[in-house]
Structure 1
Amino acid sequence: MKQILVYSDSLTWGIIPNTRQRFSFEQRWPGVLEQQLHAEQHSVRIIEDCLNGRRTVLDDPFKPGRNGLQGLQQRIEINSPLSLVVILLGNNDFQSPHNFTAAETAQGVATLVSAIRQAPIEPGMPIPDILIVCPPPIIQPKGAIAAKFRGAAEKWQGFKEALEQIASQQDCHFYDAAMATSASKVDGIHLDQDQHMALGKALSPLIAQLITD
């Protein structure tokens, strides 16, 4: 059985836009992805490691444990052997307490890639391939999250291009989620249920190819 670790934030955790509720596993894009791969006779297990508010390499000034670099190598060690790690992060770096540019946030993802490849896994276990997924562009944040994401849509501009460049430089696979879906019109950040479905189905053929090559 191939194991895939999804390392992400609330976008993948499945927060229902403008609530504190969560979509069920089969409604979230990793669950949709797993179902699609199983339907195509791939023996695969999707492991979700998704934390609301997770940054790339920044600390949340109000909640501990949101720095994505902290503990990452141990997560790789815990879940090995892994065939693939999917990273979908970046949006929380654009929250109002931070001044990261799009290029700096992409560099934060590059730091995570290096950490994954240097994780102290057991001898003989593979260093996993890495797929970087760019979240769909932030649109005007609305509702309860609007204040902490003020200015985020402007900061986000250029993130896809910067992240794609990092993927090329770091020899990672890349996928632009905007090819499958936009961000929710409800809050401008997260994904609605149909958008989770679209992203999971769109990633399925790419990930099927990556785990069988």
Structure 2
Amino acid sequence: MKQILVYADSLSWGIVPGTRQRLTFNARWPGVMENTLRMRGVAARVFENCLNGRTTAWDDPFKPGRNGIVGIEQVIEMHSPLDLVIVMLGTNDFQMVHDNTARHSAEGIGALIDALRRAPVEPGMPVPPVLIVVPPAIRVPDGPVMPKFLGSEGRCVGLADAYGDIARLHDCMIFDAGTVTTTSHRDGIHLDADQHAVLGKAIADIVQVALQPLQSGESALDEAEDIRRR
């Protein structure tokens, strides 16, 4: 049984755009990914750790506990041994309370990965490989989330390239969700149900290949990059 941790925010938690409702597990992309892997004969269990408002590395002055680095070591420890950690964060780095650029968000991802790899796992348990998923670009915000994200569509430009630099520096796999999906027209931030389905299947493709080399000692980074370019 392959154990996969998804460490993310409301895009993966499954907020229904324009509401405070939540999609079911089978409709959220982590659930779609797990079910797709199982249908392909890959025994996989997905642990969701998705917190609304979570940033890569920044404190929210109004909501405590949203800094992604805080507690990540304990999350890794509690779910170990893990075969893969998928990190999909960054959207909340561009809330108005944070004066961030794409480069700042990428540096936050790098700091989070460093913390993840410091986790005090039990002796003999592996430090899990990491797949960074770049969230799709923010549209012009609309609806209830608009006041928090004014101007964010401009400040997030270049996020995929900035994350790519961090992935290479930290020897992580990377997948740009924006190559297969887009944020909702309803709020400009979250994913509609059909986009969760598309994203879950796309990430299942990456994960299926990435898990195989873990048994043979080959490079999962190269394998995942090959499938991403197909």
5+ unaligned residues in a row in structure 1: which ranges? none
Alignment match, 1:75: 75
State how far apart, in whole Å, the 1-side matches of 2:98 and 2:159 are: 15
2: CA distance between counterparts of 1:55 and 1:95?
9
1:100: how far off? 1.3
Taking the aligned partners of 1:91 and 1:54, their CA distance within structure 2 comes to 9
Equivalent-residue separation in structure 2 for 1:57 and 1:169 (angstroms)? 18
Q: Distance in 1 between matches of 2:132 and 2:76?
A: 16
Provide Cα deviations, 1:120-167, integer angstroms capped at 9, x if missing partner: 000000110000000010010000000100010011011111001100
Residue aligning to 2:109: 109
1:128 alignment partner AA = P
Please report the TM-score for the alignment, with normalisation by the length of structure 1: 0.99
Partner of 1:181: 181
Aligned CA RMSD, in angstroms, stands at 0.6
Q: Runs (4+) of structure 1 moved beyond 6 Å?
A: none
Query: Using the alignment, how far apart are the partners of 1:188 and 1:104 within structure 2?
Result: 21
How far, CA to CA, are the matches of 2:206 and 2:93 in structure 1? 27
Q: Measure, in 1, the Cα distance between the counterparts of 2:19 and 2:159.
A: 26
2:82 partner amino acid = L
Q: Secondary structure of the equivalent of 2:149?
A: coil
For residue 146 of structure 2, what is the aligned residue in structure 1? 146
In the TM superposition, residue 99 of structure 1 has moved relative to its aligned partner by 0.6
Counterpart for residue 48 of structure 1: 48
Cα drift, residue 193 of structure 1: 0.2
Structure number with greater CO (CA < 8 Å, separation at least 6) is 1
Identity %: 51
The letter of the residue matching 1:77 is E
Does 1:27 find its partner at 2:41?
Answer: no
Q: How many residues align?
A: 213
- Letter of the aligned partner of 1:59 in structure 2? D
The answer to which structure has the higher helix fraction is 2
Match of 1:121 in 2: 121
Alpha-carbon deviation of 1:83?
A: 0.5
Alpha-carbon deviation of 1:179?
1.3
